Amino acid sequence: MSTAAIALIAVGVVLGAAVVLLALRAARLSREANLAEDRVRRLEEQRATERREGARLEAALRTAGAGVLVTDPAGRVVFANPAALPYLSGQPGQAIVESGVAEAVADALRRGEAQTRELELYTPRRRVVRLEAVPLEGEEGGRLGAVAYVADVTEERRVAAMRRDFVAAVGHELKTPLGALALLAETLAAHADDPAATAGLPERLQSEAGRLARLVDDMLDLANAEEFVPAADPVPIAELMAEVAAAAQEEADRRGVALIVEEAPPEMVVPGDERHLRAMLTNLVDNAIKYSDPQPGRPPPRVWLRARPEPDWVVLEVEDEGIGIPEGHHDRIFERFYRVDRARSRATGGTGLGLSIVRHVALNHGGDVGVESRLGEGSQFRVRLPRRREP
């Protein structure tokens, strides 16, 4: 074999080896490129997932009923949902303008501890809010900022205050008949052998016991009316009015009051609970009779019970020619235990809960109640109830 041939063979071997090496390197580079593409794809998928989760979180925060504020380490707002806007300046790079909120966030950033407070704010109406400001810590221990959660608890505090007032009022109202019963029983025991000293005491005992029983009954009725969800049974208004008037007629006759029932059409029907509606109407009629005083030489005072239809409503009206209600009391007479004239209410056996029961029953049935009255000229109470739709 010639030298030239050997040289050519050697060159071929070298070139073949180079080609093999290049192919191996190209394969390795291809694998590395595929791995890099996989890493990039996974990173993009991870970022997309994070963006979706961030969007969901932001959407949830924006629709939250409570205010949510996020600040940077300097206390500047970087995120605020719509419920938090009343506490901000409304300008680019917004600042917290409510001093109580700003102080809580500043304390959380400075101390590195959660701050919980309850504040009274005026924006412009008075509100009570519960605030919690929490510092945000980074993975390496650096302070990222703070998040503040502001919840409006005005209604919660109002209900709590009403509950306290109700308990106090119940205690006060129960003391009067219980004290009277104790005193009468003591007097009766001390003078058991003296008929003159005990004359009339049994009747007074019976009267106070009846008053206590009415108070307890009304309290139970009110508690039931506040929690009760009425059925949608058809209640004919004409029958309801006739039953209430028949039950009240004896008391009207005893007091010298003319009770007038205006006939309602039989097709006038409301959906609801007949027992609660009867209690509501009975309270209105009883009040009208009790507060109507006959005058010597004049015709008996009249009380009207009527119903009239409206397109979507049935309107029940109880009107009297009684003593009337001063204008400044119209909005308060539906409160528990509120009485315009306490002495008159005690004398007539009232508990101060009847009109509160009326309001709750009307509201529970999707209706409302109102009053028109002038002192010395009588009163007219109106209850609107949704009409029953024919199937």
**Residue 23 domain-assigned (yes or no):** no
Give exposure, 197-217, as e/b (b: 16+ Cβ within 10 Å): ebeeeeeebeebeebbebbee
**Residue 194 domain-assigned (yes or no):** yes
88 DSSP assignment: B
Contact 149, 67 (CB under 8 A): yes
Residue type, 6: I
Residue at which a domain ends, from 152, 179, 212: 152
Contact 100, 87 (CB under 8 A): no
Mean pLDDT by 10 residues, the chain (391 residues): 62 60 69 70 66 56 69 83 71 64 86 87 77 84 83 81 69 69 76 74 74 71 65 88 92 92 88 88 90 85 92 92 81 72 51 80 89 87 84 54
**Residue 45 domain-assigned (yes or no):** no
**Residue 306 domain-assigned (yes or no):** yes
* 59/63 Cα distance (integer angstroms): 6
**Residue 385 domain-assigned (yes or no):** yes
For the chain, how many structural domains are there in total? Answer: 3
What range defines the domain where residue 385 resides? 230-391
Q: What is the CATH number of the domain that holds 389?
A: 3.30.565.10
Residue at which a domain ends, from 209, 229, 249: 229
**Residue 7 domain-assigned (yes or no):** no
Q: What is the CATH number of the domain that holds 101?
A: 3.30.450.20
Which pLDDT belongs to residue 344?
Answer: 47
